[in-house]
Amino acid sequence: MNKTWLITGASSGLGRTMSEKLLARGDRVVATVRRKEALDELAQSHRERLHVAVLDVTDTGAVNRTIADAFEAMGRIDVIVSNAGYGLFGAAEEVTDTQIDRQIATNLVGSIRVIRASLPHLRAQGGGRIMQVSSEGGQVAYPNFSLYHATKWGIEGFVEAVAQEVAPFGIDFVLVEPGPTSTNFAARLDRADALPIYDATPSGDIRRALASGGFVVKGDARRSVDAMIAAGDAARPALRLALGSTAYENIETALKRRLDAIRSQKAEALGADAPIAVETVR
C-alpha cells in the first residue's frame, strides 16, 4: 500500500534522495525546502504526488502552519521525516554565539517544533510514525563538533521521552543515526575561524583530516535511504537505526565503554542511597 510522507530539509542530501525514491515507487511526498525552486525538476515529473512547501524550521508559526496545511491537503500522513539540519564545525572556544544560537535553533529546537506540531494531527488520525534524522553523533563525539553533538544528543533524549508519552496513541519513532555518508554534509558545514592555539591538538588533527580528504566516508546515501524507507514501512522498527559500518562500530565501542565505566562504579553508586531503616521487632 502506498504511503504519504512529509520530509523536511528535502532539497539535498538524504532528504532529496528519499523524496526521489518514494516518488519513484508511487508514494506521495510533502517536501519542505528553504528555496522552492530547489525541487522544480522533481515537481515537474511528479506533479500529482509531490507537494513542495517553503519552510524554515526555526520559525515556529511557519512550522505549525506548514504541518497543518500538509495534513489538510493530503488527508493523512503516515510518516514524518524530520531531516532539516546542518553541522557547525569548530572547537567550542572558536565558535561564535551567533553560530551556537543558529545551530541549536535549527537542529534541536527546529526538530522539536516539527515533532510537536505533528503530534496532534497524528493523534487525530489514529497514529503514525516520526522518523528523526539524528547521527552517530547522537551517541559518540568528535573534536570540533561539540555544538552539533549537543543538538543530536539533545534530540535523542527528547525523542526517547516523547516516544513513551505518545505510544498509547499509536505513534512511534525511529532515530536515524548515519555515520559519515556520501552527501553534501561536509560542504554545508558552518566553519568557525580557527584559533592557532588549537593547531597541535585533536581539534587541529580533525581540521587537517577534513581539509586533506583524509576523513574516511564509507556510507552510501542511496543505501542509507533504502534502510530508512524500510524502517518507515516496518510494522515495529527499532527505536534506533544505525547506518553504515562506521556508525555501527563507533556506537558499539562507545556503548561498551560506557557500560564498563558504570559497572566499575557500582559500589559507589549503590553506596549513595539513603540507609535503609531497620524496623525494631518488639
* DSSP line for 121-183: HHHHTT-EEEEEE--GGGT---TT-HHHHHHHHHHHHHHHHHHHHHGGGTEEEEEEEE-SBSS
Q: Residue 75 phi/psi, 5° resolution?
A: 85, -50
Q: What pLDDT was estimated at residue 282?
A: 62
Please confirm, yes or no, whether 152 is among the known catalytic residues. Answer: yes
Comparing 119-128, 192-201, 208-217, 221-230, the range with the smallest average pLDDT is: 208-217
The tens digit of pLDDT for each residue in 1-40 reads 799 999 999 999 999 999 999 999 999 999 999 998 889 8
Q: What pLDDT was estimated at residue 257?
A: 97
Q: How far apart are CA 180 and CA 183, in angstroms?
A: 9
CB distance 127 to 170 below 8 Å: yes
Q: Which of 86, 142, 148, 198 is catalytic?
A: 148
Q: How far apart are the first and last CA of the chain?
A: 71
CA dihedral in degrees (258, 260, 262, 266; nearest 10)? 170
Q: Which of 152, 198, 203, 224 is catalytic?
A: 152
Q: What pLDDT was estimated at residue 1?
A: 73
Q: Residue 22 phi/psi, 5° resolution?
A: -65, -40
The tens digit of pLDDT for each residue in 61-114 reads 999 999 999 999 999 999 999 999 999 999 999 999 999 999 999 999 999 999
Q: What pLDDT was estimated at residue 181?
A: 82
Q: What pLDDT was estimated at residue 151?
A: 98
pLDDT over 80 (residue 58): yes
Q: What pLDDT was estimated at residue 66?
A: 98
- Return the DSSP state at 95: S
Q: Which of 19, 82, 111, 134 is catalytic?
A: 134
Give the β-pairing of 79-82 and 171-178: unpaired
Residues 6+ apart with CB under 8 A from 17: 221, 222, 225
Q: What pLDDT was estimated at residue 144?
A: 97
Domains and CATH numbers, the chain: 4-268 (3.40.50.720)
Please confirm, yes or no, whether 134 is among the known catalytic residues. Answer: yes
Q: What pTM did the predictor assign?
A: 0.93
Average pLDDT of span 223-248: 96
Please confirm, yes or no, whether 148 is among the known catalytic residues. Answer: yes
pLDDT over 90 (residue 41): no
Give residue 43's pLDDT band: very low, low, confident or very high (50, 70, 90).
Answer: confident
Q: What pLDDT was estimated at residue 44?
A: 85
Q: What pLDDT was estimated at residue 276?
A: 83
- Return the DSSP state at 188: G
What's the grid cell of residue 268?
A: 559507589
